[in-house]
């Protein structure tokens, strides 16, 4: 049996499509639960329409991780999926995942392909995914959360989501499982649609997202990979409306923030980071010299 958990809060515009995508799996053994955090929009009216086809609870919680954890504790399926209230499964996804787990009893976690979709369920682009590598996962979160499924024995062994986290709760969990020895495999089938819209918290709060990721990585790995420090610098510049077209300010800001971030989270600067910053500044100096520009020409 497979259990699917949906955490929910004020996603009334999308949650019916989420529910319908689960119902369309036509799995008689499916256990589906929704834990809502006291929505004040049309969510509850929609949930009441589907009473009987799934179990739902609406009550205050301590955030998304807490809601997912409550859902996992309330279910008993040997396989667990977690589908947010604005995401969808594609037809046949759950059957394909269960068949894969049955054929591969040694595998603990399966992740498939997914699409980024818009408000109207139209595909924006494929979600970036790649074959399994723990070392790569430390630098890139290439698992799309609604397309990830894991065995209950993993939750029993490694615990549930870290309820302190608001943005990187899934990424931390994949790292924790992998570092603990769980076996992952890439299932090359499009399983889910991950919705992008302006209210998505990872879009609306990108600086906070990357700050939390860096703090989580320092705790989980002992240090933050340089790639994530540079990512933080990029989103901070974007938040300050400093764009690549403003080449001198962009590269100077990218260099300073990356070095500062390294000191903030890693208490030092790696040789690789120093080399990267030197290359950035060198290429910009050569560009300005070749075009006859000086830094004050930008003022």
Domain boundary among 179, 197, 215: 197
Residues 172, 210, single domain; the answer is no
The CATH code of the domain that includes 136 is 3.90.550.10
Residues 175, 212, single domain; the answer is no
More confident site: 292 or 141: 141
Domain boundary among 197, 221, 239: 197
What pLDDT sits at residue 283? 80
* Cα atoms in the Cβ-side hemisphere of radius 13 Å centred on 138: 13
pLDDT, one tens digit per residue, over 98-128 is 999 999 999 999 999 999 999 999 999 999 9
Percent of the chain residues topping a pLDDT of 70: 93
* Unique residue bearing structure tokens 């050569």: 286
Residues 49, 188, single domain; the answer is yes
Residues 168, 93, single domain; the answer is yes
CB-based contacts of 180: which residues, under 8 Å, 6+ apart?
157, 158
User: HEC string of 260-276?
Assistant: HHHHHHHCCCCHHHHHH
pLDDT band at 27 (very low <50, low <70, confident <90, very high): very high
Average pLDDT for the chain? 92
**Where do the DSSP E strands lie in the chain?**
2-8, 31-36, 55-58, 79-82, 88-89, 109-117, 123-126, 148-151, 184-195
> 90: closest CA among 194, 191, 195?
191
In a 3-state reduction of DSSP, which class is residue 208? helix
Residues 186, 258, single domain; the answer is no
Residues 292, 168, single domain; the answer is no
Residues 211, 185, single domain; the answer is no
> 220: closest CA among 190, 193, 180, 260?
180
Average pLDDT over residues 45-60: 93
The answer on pLDDT for 277 being more than 70 is: yes
- What residue numbers bound the domain in which 273 lies? 205-298
- Structural domains in the chain (count): 2
Question: Residue 84 carries which DSSP code?
Answer: -
Percent of the chain residues topping a pLDDT of 90: 85
Residues 216, 161, single domain; the answer is no
pLDDT, one tens digit per residue, over 181-203 is 999 999 999 999 999 977 665 55
Residues 162, 79, single domain; the answer is yes
Residues 147, 14, single domain; the answer is yes
Domain boundary among 197, 227, 242: 197
- Out of 82-86, 151-155, 264-268, 279-283, pick the least confident: 279-283
Residues 193, 284, single domain; the answer is no
Residues 173, 90, single domain; the answer is yes
């Amino acid at each position: 049996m497979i259990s699917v958990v949906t955490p929910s809060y004020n996603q009334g515009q999308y949650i019916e499509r989420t529910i319908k995508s689960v119902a369309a799996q036509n799995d008689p053994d499916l256990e589906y639960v929704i834990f809502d955090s006291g929505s004040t929009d049309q969510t509850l009216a929609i949930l009441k329409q589907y009473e009987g086809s799934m179990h739902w609870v609406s009550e205050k919680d301590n955030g998304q991780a807490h809601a997912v954890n409550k859902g996992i504790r309330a279910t008993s399926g040997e396989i667990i999926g977690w589908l947010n209230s604005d995401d969808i499964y594609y037809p046949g996804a759950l059957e394909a995942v269960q068949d894969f787990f049955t054929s591969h009893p040694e595998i603990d976690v399966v992740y498939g392909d997914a699409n980024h979709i818009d408000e109207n369920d139209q595909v924006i682009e494929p979600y970036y995914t790649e074959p399994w590598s723990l070392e790569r996962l430390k630098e890139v979160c290439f698992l799309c959360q609604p397309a990830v499924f894991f065995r209950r024995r993993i939750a029993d062994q490694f615990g549930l989501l870290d309820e302190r986290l608001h943005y990187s709760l899934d990424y931390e969990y994949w790292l924790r499982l992998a570092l603990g020895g769980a076996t992952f495999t890439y299932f090359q089938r499009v399983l889910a649609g991950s919705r992008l819209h302006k209210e998505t918290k990872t879009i609306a709060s990108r600086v906070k997202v990357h700050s939390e990721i860096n703090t989580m990585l320092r705790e989980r790995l002992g240090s933050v990979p340089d790639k994530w420090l540079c990512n933080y610098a990029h989103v901070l510049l974007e938040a300050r409306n400093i764009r690549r077209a403003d080449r001198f300010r962009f590269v100077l800001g990218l260099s300073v923030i990356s070095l500062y971030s390294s000191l903030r989270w890693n208490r030092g600067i790696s040789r690789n980071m120093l080399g990267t910053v030197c290359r950035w500044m060198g290429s910009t100096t050569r560009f300005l010299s070749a075009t006859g520009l000086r830094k004050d020409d930008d003022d």
